[in-house]
Amino acid sequence: MSAPKPQELLKVSHRPPRTGWMDTPVEFRKGTWCYPGKPKSLEVLDLPFPRQWSPEDEDWKLPPNWKEIVLEGLRERLHRFRSLQIFMDACVRCGACADKCHFFIGSGDPKNMPVLRAELLRSVYRREFTTAGKLLGRMVGARDLDERVLKEWFYYFFQCTECRRCSVFCPFGIDTAEITIIARELLNLLGLNIDWIATPIANCYRTGNHLGLLPHAFKDMVDFCVDEIQNVTGVGIEPTFNRKGAEILFVAPSGDVFADPGIYTFMGYLMLFHAIGLDYTLSTYASEGGNFGLFTSHEVMKRLNAKIYAEAKRLGVKWIIGGECGHMWRVLHQYMDTMNGPADSLEEPVSPITGTKFENARSTRMVHICEFTADLIRHGKLKLDPSRNDHLVVTFHDSCNPSRAMGLLDEPRYIIRNVCRHFYDMPENTIREYTFCCGSGAGLGPDENLEMRLRGGLPRANAVKYVREKYGVNTLACICAIDRAALPPLMDYWVPGVGVAGVHELVGNALILPDEGERTTDLRGNPLPQPAGAGAGNGDPGGAGAAPRREA
Amino acid sequence: MGMGISLALTVALILVAWAGAAAGLQVVLGTVIPYLAGLTFLGGLIWRVVRWARAPVPFRIPTTCGQQKSLPWIRYAAVDNPATTLGVVARVALEVLLFRSLLRNSRFELREGPKLVYFWEKWLWVAGLAFHWSLFVILTRHLRFFTQPVPAFVGWLEGADGFFQVWLSALYLTDVVVLVAVTYLFLRRVLIPQVRYVSLPADYFPLFLIMGIAGSGVLMRYFFRVDVTAVKELALGLVTFRPVLPAGLSALFYVHLFLVSVLLVYFPFSKLVHMAGIFLSPTRNLANTNRERRHINPWNYPVKVHTYEEYEEEFRKHMIAAGIPVERAGPSAQVGIPAEKEGQ
Amino acid sequence: MSLHVLLSEEKPTVVARWLDLLLEDYPPETVRFLKGQRDQFANPVGSVFRQAIADLYEELIGEGDPGRAVALLDPILRIRAVQDLPASRALAFLPGLKQVVREAVGSNGRSVQPPVRPEEWRELDDRIDQLTLLAFDVYLGCREKIHEIRFTELRNRTHLLLERAGLVAADASPGGTPGGALSPPVGVGPQAGQDGRGGRRAEEGEG
């Protein structure tokens, strides 16, 4: 009797039996799922069924009538969202979306194909809400809702970053983000959320921001940025907080206030406003532009978002500027006005510096800072020295939401081209509306999920690697606070040597303040490059021939 | 397995029609079933679309596939990120007529190492377009049977379609194309593992049904000629509600008619309604004017929020200590710092 | 005929089969995508595997420079290290090459004259073993990197909070474990100080 060959042995022990997707149960392996939401966090928002539980446990301590709750919830949402009905009915399983998901590309798990992710919900919909599904069952892709299915939902709907890339390619515009949003709503009806979402929403509800910074701490963090600016530029900036009568309320993602490298972006905002003498105020109550409610339910999204208009009204500002953040802008652009508008206390936004009317924000009355800054540059209102960014060879990562739920593509590029002299876009099928997700969006950024994040981020990192090898790119610019947190580890693993910066950090470096002293370092304390003189002119990304200077 | 069931079902349907015709059930096959099928199709489709249309669109959620309309000097993507009704109409029209999103799918070029290899990935788009357009042309050609006099455009269409002459009769290009395309779509489903993995019996069935319909049609036209005058008599009778059953129609014809009836019945209750779905898809049929015009959610309801007053009540002491203005220096504030201290 | 010549002649076959072996770890519906989608940006995994396997084989039957071998193993194992594979499986394609080569050389239909000497086989096997051992280092390096990133992420989150202790709400509600606050929505990037661009900020924070 001969021993099996090593190859066979391995095959026997490792290859899973081939089963149809309906019969392949989900396995919770470390590194690919997020810790469950704590009961305390759920209680802050009065969310249902707060309890201690873990996805790894056999028993999820579901309420006895959980099935009814989910099905009733689904019925209700079918009546409320035409999108859901159409996305449940219209898919022909053509497979066009299959290889468009960054998680599928990086992991190879077939259930990460958008079509299958949606089928997880669709199969239950068919069983319960269509005649064919009730009569024919599996023939038409219908299956009963049971705990196994529920666990599968939890696993895979918290493995979708709601980036909408698949929706670009779908001939019917089916948007997996929409399906994930609603599936997560259903899970939340049973108290099934993840900690990295549940704790920030609880914090945000109570203290105004995700981290739970109390008002004085928030001010303290901003003061820290002010000190740093003084160190670099010699200019003292005095931002105000909760000041009534300011013309403009500025709301940034709180990540920019406390997290590295987001704080450099925040310094950029402050320097910009100082340079143009803007009459604005920050708010400790509305100290968070981000909104993890989007990753929980429409209702929580609305509850958290309400603060922005309420605070704008209380302070009596004319309009609002929002900082660089991806999902924050999905909420502000596509939901805020509908949910908490109309913003009657505000006025149609007009730039006090250039007089430009932001007609595209006429109703919502909130302007993206990139729109605001691009307009300033266009009108020559900023004094810029792009050579201060000469040590940076920059590429730009389009964040999912500003790209596919807004279309903010050329404004940040225009700014970068004016504040940097070495800018190179990544290959065309990885940018703009085709951009790849960072892999950590929609609340999937905790460290216990790191391996999944690295997998999902591979397509993005791969394109960065290409421009790094081709042009010597050493800086990945972005307009999203989650990106600023998620991309550094991603780069560290896949493309070492590439740093991550917000667009307004680059603005801050290049911006010449009216009263500034001689600068010797950039905002991060790195020495400024020696004046090179020769090379590309302002805004000419193609002409930069010099190799990038990299610090040790 | 799913494929086997669907194939068996289709074959069974063909046999039923054949046996019915042989057993002299022409009345059932030629009158009763077509009427029932037509009724189910219309009723079902209306029911389905009404059901969709009755569900509100609470949020404006277009998927934007190009530059937004923002500052006047930035050129925006008027079709892929529409800001006007005209743009939306163009976007939906491109989706419906040219399957624009599917076209995005694929690109010409590919680089692998030093070699440049050309690789064409647009087959799904080509086959999809060929399939749907051929079906449309064939359907329009069939108007010849249902109208008297025949509208002129039907004749033109036939002329264009039947450019090639085979055995003294025109060979309709669309007949060939539809058979090739449906075969491709079927093979694709079977041969590409990831597509096979997501395929349901319900995905194979309509393909087999359409193969059966197209196949029987082709057989009648080119091989076992059917009495066209008799077919027209029957068809006109059906649409004018004066059904007649002309003699001399073969079993093949009844198979054809029966499969069409089955397709009509199946249509509203299956994924085949995707045709109607595309017009109503909120990611495609809405303009990206979100911040310009307020979108109304009909079921928008008030929610519990954490008000500023509650916030200040909880943190007043800290706020005053940090010099952050407060609305009122309430009883909980013992620190004697002025409540209103402007930063500058 | 020497084994070396044979191995060069059979390169296309060996490389193709070796790639197949590597891809056996993925479900068939994924393999089709990994092999079929040729765009390196739409399919980074497949592209990296295809390129690296070919180069690695070239290196193996060529000079066998350990430095270059490591550089070629790195992209493959960097991907395998974050996928759902135990280490044994992630590296299995390397010892598996022995079988692949034997099958390819044996199945070419030619009777090799004179037959390949056993020492030649042994030398090849030794080289493959060497490669496997190097791969072990690379794989371990990747796993260590993952842990380092995780650790840095955690530490950076905590140190900023500790630095500002007392100013931050400990949790959503009083009495919470610090763990709640240790999971901010956006972490502190571990990049600071690692690429030199962290500069003063990182020094201060870590000092």
pLDDT in tens, C166-206: 444 444 333 333 333 333 333 333 333 333 333 333 333 33
B289 domain residue, yes or no: no
Shared domain for C30 and C99, answered yes or no, is: yes
Cβ within 8 Å of A, B 253-282 = 269-271, 273-274, 277-278, 280-282
Shared domain for C94 and C17, answered yes or no, is: yes
Higher pLDDT, A215 or B159: A215
Domain borders along chain A are 20-193, 198-378, 386-529
| Domain interval for residue B318 | 303-344
Shared domain for B244 and B154, answered yes or no, is: yes
The per-residue pLDDT of chain C, averaged, comes to: 76
The pLDDT of residue B131 is 93
Distance from CA of B245 to the nearest CA of A (A): 33
In the predicted model, what is the mean pLDDT of residues B120-127?
77
Shared domain for B224 and B323, answered yes or no, is: no
B103 domain residue, yes or no: yes
User: Around A452, how many Cα atoms within 13 Å sit in the side-chain half-sphere?
Assistant: 25
Neighbours of chain B (3+ CB pairs under 8 A): A, C
Q: Give the number of other CB atoms < 10 A from CB of residue A345.
A: 15
DSSP A386: G
Size of interface B-C (CB pairs under 8 A): 28
Residue of C nearest to B110 (CA): C39
Residue of B104, B108, B109, B111 to mutate, interface with C, max C Cβ within 10 Å: B111
In the predicted model, what is the mean pLDDT of residues A479-503?
95
Cα distances from A211 to residues A41, A217, A287, A446, C182, in angstroms, run 13, 11, 10, 14, 9
In the predicted model, what is the mean pLDDT of residues B173-190?
90
**Cβ-Cβ contacts under 8 Å, A366 against chain B:** 291
Among B117, B196, B197, beta carbon nearest to C38: B117
Residues B119, C51: C-beta atoms closer than 8 Å: no
Shared domain for C125 and C152, answered yes or no, is: no
pLDDT bucket at B331, cuts 50 / 70 / 90:
low
The pLDDT of residue A58 is 92
Shared domain for C136 and C90, answered yes or no, is: yes
Q: Does the structure show a pLDDT above 80 at A546?
A: no
Please, what CATH class does the domain formed by A386-529 belong to? alpha beta
Q: Does the structure show a pLDDT above 90 at A433?
A: yes
From A209-213, A274-278, C37-41, the region with the lowest mean pLDDT: C37-41
Cβ A535 vs Cβ A544: under 8 Å = yes
- Please report, rounded to a whole number, the percentage of residues in chain B having pLDDT higher than 90: 57
Q: pTM for the complete prediction?
A: 0.86
The pLDDT of residue C184 is 39
The per-residue pLDDT of chain A, averaged, comes to: 90
pLDDT bucket at B341, cuts 50 / 70 / 90:
very low
Give the whole-angstrom CA distance, residue C62 versus residue A274.
63
Shared domain for C15 and C36, answered yes or no, is: yes
Distance from CA of B173 to the nearest CA of A (A): 25
Overall number of domains in chain B: 2
Condensed to tens digits (0 to 9), the pLDDT of residues C89-131 reads: 999 999 999 999 988 887 655 556 667 788 888 999 999 999 9
The pLDDT of residue C162 is 53
Give the whole-angstrom CA distance, residue A450 versus residue A489.
9
Residue of C nearest to B118 (CA): C38
Shared domain for C87 and C119, answered yes or no, is: yes
pLDDT bucket at C157, cuts 50 / 70 / 90:
low
Q: Does the structure show a pLDDT above 90 at C20?
A: yes
Cβ–Cβ contact C29 with B under 8 A: yes
- Please report, rounded to a whole number, the percentage of residues in chain A having pLDDT higher than 70: 93
The pLDDT of residue C113 is 64
pLDDT bucket at C159, cuts 50 / 70 / 90:
low
Q: Does the structure show a pLDDT above 80 at B13?
A: yes
Give the whole-angstrom CA distance, residue A116 versus residue A174.
13
Cβ within 8 Å of A, C 70-99 = 78-79, 82-84, 86, 88-89, 92, 95-96, 99
Give the CATH number for residue B105: 1.20.950.20
Q: Give the number of other CB atoms < 10 A from CB of residue B102.
A: 21
B293 domain residue, yes or no: no
Shared domain for B170 and B225, answered yes or no, is: yes
Strand B115-116 to strand B111-112: parallel, antiparallel, or no bridges (unpaired)?
A: antiparallel
Shared domain for C132 and C185, answered yes or no, is: no
**Cβ-Cβ contacts under 8 Å, B195 against chain C:** 29
The pLDDT of residue B165 is 63
B288 domain residue, yes or no: no
Residues A253, C146: C-beta atoms closer than 8 Å: no
Nearest of A327, A328, A325, A163 to residue A259 by alpha carbon: A325
Condensed to tens digits (0 to 9), the pLDDT of residues B166-179 reads: 555 678 888 889 99
Condensed to tens digits (0 to 9), the pLDDT of residues A94-135 reads: 888 888 999 998 888 888 999 999 999 999 999 999 988 999
Helical packing angle, A176-188 and A82-89, nearest 10°: 110
Alpha carbon distance, N-terminus to C-terminus of chain C: 65
Shared domain for C39 and C116, answered yes or no, is: yes
Shared domain for C31 and C115, answered yes or no, is: yes
Residues B315, A214: C-beta atoms closer than 8 Å: yes
Helix (H, G, I), strand (E, B) or coil at A518: coil
Q: What is the ipTM of this complex?
A: 0.89
Shared domain for C164 and C127, answered yes or no, is: no
B287 domain residue, yes or no: no
B316 domain residue, yes or no: yes
Higher pLDDT, A205 or C4: A205
Shared domain for C118 and C35, answered yes or no, is: yes
DSSP H or E run through B212: helix B201-218
Shared domain for B81 and B200, answered yes or no, is: yes
Residues B295, A337: C-beta atoms closer than 8 Å: yes
CATH 1.20.1050 describes domain A198-378 = yes
Nearest of C72, B288, C8, B1 to residue A409 by alpha carbon: B288
| Domain interval for residue C68 | 3-141
In the predicted model, what is the mean pLDDT of residues A359-365?
97
Shared domain for C137 and C152, answered yes or no, is: no
In the predicted model, what is the mean pLDDT of residues A222-229?
93
In the predicted model, what is the mean pLDDT of residues A32-55?
94
In the predicted model, what is the mean pLDDT of residues A270-290?
97
Shared domain for B128 and B170, answered yes or no, is: yes
Max alpha carbon distance in chain B (Å)? 106
Neighbours of chain A (3+ CB pairs under 8 A): B, C
B123 domain residue, yes or no: yes
In the predicted model, what is the mean pLDDT of residues A364-379?
98
Higher pLDDT, A454 or A2: A454
